[in-house]
Amino acid sequence: MSNYAANQAAKLEQGRELARRLYDVKLSQLQKTTRQEQEAYLKDFPLLGRAEVKDVFRQVIEAKKAQQIQVGWFTIPHDVTVLVFVLVTWLVDLRTGILAGVAVLVLLESIFQVYFNPRIYPKLSLLVWLTYPAYVLLAWVLYSRGLEWYWIAAAVAGAWGGIFLAGLLARIPMQVIMKGRIEGAKQHASRASK
């Protein structure tokens, strides 16, 4: 291996090590990093230049933002389910609200497993702020219908935790289907290459 290739390999390894170190830092701290703080990394990673350190910072920030969006994307079915459950419970009754909530949850979990659109995520992520008043509305609806406080507390806690648990269970069939498709595609590709 030539000196240039060895130098490039060492430089690449230092860039990876810097990225690993930065990935453990909170996104808000990374975004607030000053130029002086970035230049302090030049001492720890002497093969990297200022532009390369700045580029590693940019890449890690973008990766962390993308990860946050992907994680947030999978909470949207929960938020929509809470809103549908509470609204149907308010307008009809608790039993119908539960049925509507389960139907919406299964449908959205299936859709959100295979469809991802980072452009609409910021708008949909605002739904989380409506879930908190929805829980209060649920408590008020149940109170106005004569339920005891402990049943109301159990219903609100059950709605919060139960929807998360049901969402995990609702993802299983779609994950099995997707895994089967991947395995089938691999088998088809291996047969085609023979």
Q: What is the pLDDT of residue 104?
A: 96
CA–CA separation, 136 and 98 (whole Å): 17
Q: What distance in Å separates the CA atoms of residue 11 and residue 25, rounded to the nearest whole number?
A: 22
CB-CB contact of 63 with 23 (8 Å): yes
Could you read off the pLDDT of 173-188 as tens digits, one per residue? Answer: 888 888 888 888 888 8
Which residue type is seen at 188?
Answer: H
Please state the pTM of the whole predicted model: 0.74
Concatenate the DSSP letters of all residues of 66-104 into one string: HHHHHHHHTTHHHHHHHHHHHHHHHHT-HHHHHHHHHHH
Per-residue pLDDT tens over the stretch 19-52: 898 888 898 888 888 888 887 888 888 888 888 8
- Identify the pLDDT of residue 1: 57
Report how far Cα 5 is from the mean position of its chain's Cα atoms: 39
62-68-70 Cα angle (round to 5) = 105
**C-alpha distances out from residue 93 to 74, 84, 89, 145, 147, Å:** 28, 12, 4, 10, 13
Query: Largest Cα–Cα distance of the chain, in whole Å?
Result: 81
Number of helices followed by number of strands (H, E) in the chain: 9, 0
Q: Angle 144-149-155 (CA atoms, 0-180°, nearest 5)?
A: 85
- Which ranges of the chain have pLDDT less than 70? 1, 194
Residue 148 tokens, joined: 């005891």
CB of 30 closer than 8 Å to CB of 59:
no
pLDDT score of 34: 83
Specify whether the backbone of 146 is left (phi greater than 0), alpha (psi in -120 to 50) or beta.
left
**Exposure of 106 in the CB half-sphere (CA atoms within 13 A):** 6
Sorted by where each begins, the domain ranges of the chain are 3-72, 74-193
